[in-house]
Structure 1
Amino acid sequence: MTRIRRVGGTITERTRGNEIYYAENDIAINAVGNISVTSGKGVVFGEPETPPVLNQYFVKGWWSLDIEGNKKIKSAIPGMTVYFHLETKNIPNDSSVFMTLFEEDNSENEETQNEDDKITLINSLTKKESFSEKVSNNKIVKTITLKNIDSFIQDEVDKVLELYFKCSYFNEAGQFPISNDEYLKVGQIIVDRYKIPGLNENGTDSADDLCYGFGIKKGGSIFESSEVSDYVSRYEENGFDEILDEKISNKAILSDKNGKAKYSEAECYSAAYNARIPFTNIDIPISTGLDIRVFNNLSDDVLFWDFEQTASLYFATGLLETNLKQMIAKFKANEGGIYENEILTNAIIESEVTKKYCNDVEEYLKTKIKENSTELQKIEDKKPYLGNYGDIQADRGNENKTFTRPIYNVNKMEGLTIALNDIWATQITIKEMENDNNNYTCKYEVILWDHFGLDLPDMEKIFNIIPSVGEAFVTWFILQHLRGYKPFITKIKFEKEFEGTF
């Protein structure tokens, strides 16, 4: 086992008795400056002493999923009940071994602390802190329920705890498991990411429907390649950060007002869709660019009034009409950022589309958990699937993922289609798991991401043929791409749970 301590300042140790170090090989001391050794009675050099025997009482320690200790594990999810096994020798039955649970910090380069964190264990019967366990036939089995550890997980840079026990009996002490490779890694597990919020399908630049401007095309890429790679790395490691990623969500104020302009005025005026002549195979182009040109003569206030009236009339009812008006109000505030709304989230949870999507997710997770019950870390799949739909489908097929993302276009008048329609990106995370023998209950989190904005292909779709219906999208498109109003990212987050067997 290697132990590394990184300290930004000074280490000061004070020992009332003797301080003795033993090493099976060399002890090396290195310093950029001087090395000073002082003593009140002199410095003595001599032959090495024989170190004390450290394996008189302890043999090995390991974690398992079962009380028998046969299903060894190295990873677990918050909420689980797991077992720590300590094999001893030469310790009489009913003798007490002191045992303290710790979280290992020192192997993480990012950590500024240099001391491992003690985790207090409470005896379920006495409701007091547990300090020791009794030996039975040179074996100790300690049951640990991984609850109330969220604060420890949040303090970790990688959001993963690495658990081990410090054990002592008479003059012998040790850390078990011996190797930190066998410490128990505890954390939530990201099991799926479909695309990346805010970026195009390849994850190389801004999504087109999040661009905005005044009809003066920026040209080239919207983001620098380094900005994209930094964002992708952050997202893959820790998800979307509303502060660090505010440029992605259009919350940041850009110095160049044309910094995210995707289309020129001429391109906007050239928009058209193909309409098929009845009883023929002939398509003729119908201009929506002409409508954009005409409506572009109206003021912002009139355009927003028209947008809200037509969108509410044709595309939303009830509470979802309220949600739609709130989304338009955020768009009018020109603030970008992230939009979350309880009305929208509740409607999503109750949608049959969502229920079908979650059912597919749960069937996949049940299979994966059963296949990897002692190696849950293998379920992790946090790298986003990118590319066109066909490529993504092929990649996900290789992982036996039959689901991609929900599409809310069943009832176009309800209010979900105009608010979301085709969800752009998703993330699924296993948050907690409670297990009892071979059965478990798994709680997972779903995050759906979408962009409340339009791109040029939206103006080239056949639904624009209906004059008043198309008016909603014409006014929306003008406000975004010719008047500089910022689109934003919509976020829907909720939790579900299901039962299964290992």
Structure 2
Amino acid sequence: MAALQFPCTIFTTQNRMDDYSAKDMRCGDLTEAQLKTHYHLVDVSTRANPYTLTKITPFNQPQSMFYGSRGEGEKITRQQCAAILFDEFRLLSRLFSVYGPYNHLIEKMIGHMQNGNGKPFRNISLDRALKDHILNDRTENSTMTKIKNALIENIDWVNKHYPEKDKDELRKAILSGKLPKFDRFQDNFNGMGITVHDTWATHITLKSLHISNDSYRAVVHYNVQDHFGLDVDDISKFKFNQFRFFRIWFVLQRYNQFGFKPFMTNMEATVEIIGGRNESKN
């Protein structure tokens, strides 16, 4: 009976890696009229009007009947307007990244959108966040738990290998669980919900499997990709549209006078799984 050879890709999502045709990867494709009419993006920024290219200034005189309201000020260039919007974008991001080791990531990613021209983004903190998520997921739907159970059930303990014919059992096990995503309650505040949240594509590879007596040690690699971009479905939802943060993001990305490019967010993690033949399933 043939043994599985390593490294072996045991799971891939239907969504492809590096899919630049995805809806949230579009940019610079909408007019002022479309943004205002279809997506109600009239009040975008408190600092600059992206449509008239003018600064928005408060009426600062307390004796004025218009005190506290906003008026349009000096004309600015498109580049100056974009810079003002990006500064406000960064400031508003702090609402979603209040604490934790990843709260600096969103400002880095906004800066990458402003200056990176669509190049993929990597950061060691993203890799660490992914690894922490995988290792600390104690739920029954954890992919680590699913892989562990599938290994225990399908290893040929007599011949000390994993049969190639049972490779699909690993894929089915992962499919029955939940892939690592940053949609937990804490991700609303720790910076990961706003930078990644859901993910687009995941590849899981069994890099090695060592079997001795009644125990095994497996090394598993996760390669995960997300898109830092918004599609029209996102901005059409009240939960996004209500926040100025997302209105500015959408206009910077999709308005045909700006067209700042979204980008691929790449992260990876390698974890070790140790188990035994007589372990009970979790």
> Structure 1: which 5+ residue stretches go unaligned?
1-72, 77-185, 200-204, 216-263, 273-286, 382-395
1:289-309: CA deviation from partner (whole Å, max 9, x where unpaired): 223595444511111111111
Provide the C-alpha distance between the structure 2 equivalents of 1:353 and 1:407, rounded to a whole number of angstroms: 13
Please tell me whether residue 188 in structure 1 is matched to residue 3 in structure 2. no
Q: Contact between 2:204 and 2:222, CA under 8 Å: does it hold in 1?
A: yes
1:289-336: CA deviation from partner (whole Å, max 9, x where unpaired): 223595444511111111111112443435423221111111111422
Distance 1:413 1:369, change over 3 A: closer
Residue type at the aligned position of 2:17: P
Equivalent residues in 2 for 1:88-237, closer than 5 Å: 186-194=5-13, 195-199=15-19, 206-215=21-30
Tell me the TM-score normalized by structure 2.
Answer: 0.72
Paired residue for 1:332, among 114, 117, 128? 114
Please tell me whether residue 481 in structure 1 is matched to residue 254 in structure 2. yes
Distance 1:440 1:314, change over 3 A: closer
Residue type at the aligned position of 1:497: E
| Residue 3 of structure 2: aligned partner | 75
Distance 1:372 1:210, change over 3 A: same
* Offset at residue 357 of structure 1 (A): 7.1
Please tell me whether residue 267 in structure 1 is matched to residue 39 in structure 2. no
Q: Contact between 1:317 and 1:414, CA under 8 Å: does it hold in 2?
A: yes
SS at match of 2:142: helix
Tell me the TM-score normalized by structure 1.
Answer: 0.42
Provide the C-alpha distance between the structure 1 equivalents of 2:92 and 2:210, rounded to a whole number of angstroms: 49
> Structure 2: which 5+ residue stretches go unaligned?
54-80, 157-161, 278-282
Distance 1:357 1:450, change over 3 A: farther
| Residue 127 of structure 1: aligned partner | none
Q: What's the RMSD between the two structures over aligned residues?
A: 3.0
Q: Contact between 2:203 and 2:223, CA under 8 Å: does it hold in 1?
A: yes
| Residue 235 of structure 2: aligned partner | 459
Q: Contact between 1:440 and 1:500, CA under 8 Å: does it hold in 2?
A: yes
Provide the C-alpha distance between the structure 1 equivalents of 2:267 and 2:139, rounded to a whole number of angstroms: 14
Paired residue for 1:291, among 43, 49, 58? 43
Which is higher, the Rg of structure 1 or of structure 2?
Answer: 1
Q: Contact between 1:269 and 1:292, CA under 8 Å: does it hold in 2?
A: no
Corresponding residue pairs, total: 236
Provide the C-alpha distance between the structure 1 equivalents of 2:135 and 2:149, rounded to a whole number of angstroms: 22
Which structure has the highest helix share of the two? 2
Say which structure, 1 or 2, has more relative contact order (CA 8 Å, 6+ apart).
Answer: 2
Q: Contact between 2:143 and 2:174, CA under 8 Å: does it hold in 1?
A: no
Distance 1:358 1:416, change over 3 A: farther
Distance 1:323 1:400, change over 3 A: closer
Provide the C-alpha distance between the structure 2 equivalents of 1:354 and 1:423, rounded to a whole number of angstroms: 18
Paired residue for 2:201, among 417, 425, 430? 425
| Residue 408 of structure 1: aligned partner | 182
Provide the C-alpha distance between the structure 2 equivalents of 1:426 and 1:341, rounded to a whole number of angstroms: 17
